[in-house]
Amino acid sequence: RIGGRIARAELAPLPLPLLRRALWRLLRQGSGHAPSQVQVEQIADALARGRVARFNLRGAWHAWLRADELQLLPPSAALGPREPRAGSTAAQPGLPFPLARGARFVPEAQWALAVPGEVVLPDGRVLRATRVEPGAYAAHSGDADAVAELDAEGLPAELCVRWPRRGDRFHGLGAPGHKSLARFLSGLGVSREDRAGVPLVCADGEILWVVGLRPCERHKLRRSTRARLRLELAPGAPSAG
C-alpha cells in the first residue's frame, strides 16, 4: 500500500504519549522508514496547535497535515506523473473544484445554511453542514479539499453562504493573523477571475471556511473539542435559471 491517511479528528483527542505512538506507527508502516523523535514531536505539536504543515520524512516521503486529515505522501517518482486539476494550467494552480464557465457570481447574494442542512448554489454545487457529536465519526469523503471540520462550540444553528465581497478579511488556519481575502486567494494562485466563484461559509460576519481552500483559525479543532461542525462541498448539476 502506498502512503495512507487518517482523519485529524481521530488523532486530536489522544493523550500525548498515545499520540506519539500512533504517529510513529502510522509513519513507520506507511513509508517503510522509522521516523525520528524530532519528526514525531513536530507533527504532534502542529496537531495540538491546529496548524497545517508539510513535513519531510526519511526516504523522500512527506507527511501533509491538512485541515481535516494527516496524509502520507510517497516520493513523487513512486506516484508517477500527476494529473493537473480541472481548469488549471502550468502557471495557474487553479481551484480544487471546477467552476462553471460563464456563471455569474453576485457578491450581494447569500443563502442560509442550517445545521444540519444543505444549500444548492446557482452553479449546481451543494454545500452541506452537519454536527458530529463526541465519539461519532462521519464518513470521510474521497476529496479532502471538499471537507472541513471545525469546533462547533459557540457557532449558531444557522450559517451564511455567500460569494467574496470587497473588503473581506480572513484569518486562515495556521496563519499569524488576518489578511485581506483577496490577498489570501492570490497567495494560493487563484486567478482574479476565479476568486468571485469561491464560496464562503460564514457565521456572525466571520468567514469560517474559504470553501475547498482553508478553514479559519479561531474555530479550529483542539484536544478539548467535543462536538464538531462538518462542512462539505459536493458537485452537482447547474440549476435551470
**Number of CB atoms found within 10 A of residue 1's CB:** 6
pLDDT tens, 170-181? 999 878 899 999
pLDDT of 80 reads: 41
For residues 52-90, one letter each, b for 16 or more C-beta atoms within 10 angstroms of the residue's C-beta and e for the rest, the string is beebebeeebbbbbbbbbbbbbbeeeeeeeeeeeeebee
Q: Which residues pair with 110 in a beta bridge?
A: 162
Cell output for 225:
473539542
pLDDT tens, 30-68? 888 898 888 898 898 888 777 777 788 888 888 888 878
Residue with cell 513512486: 78
pLDDT of 211 reads: 93
pLDDT tens, 125-134? 899 999 988 7
Class of domain 4-79: alpha beta
3.50.40.10, 3.40.190.10, 3.40.50.1860, 3.40.50.920: which CATH number matches 110-234?
3.50.40.10
Domain range annotation of the chain: 4-79, 110-234
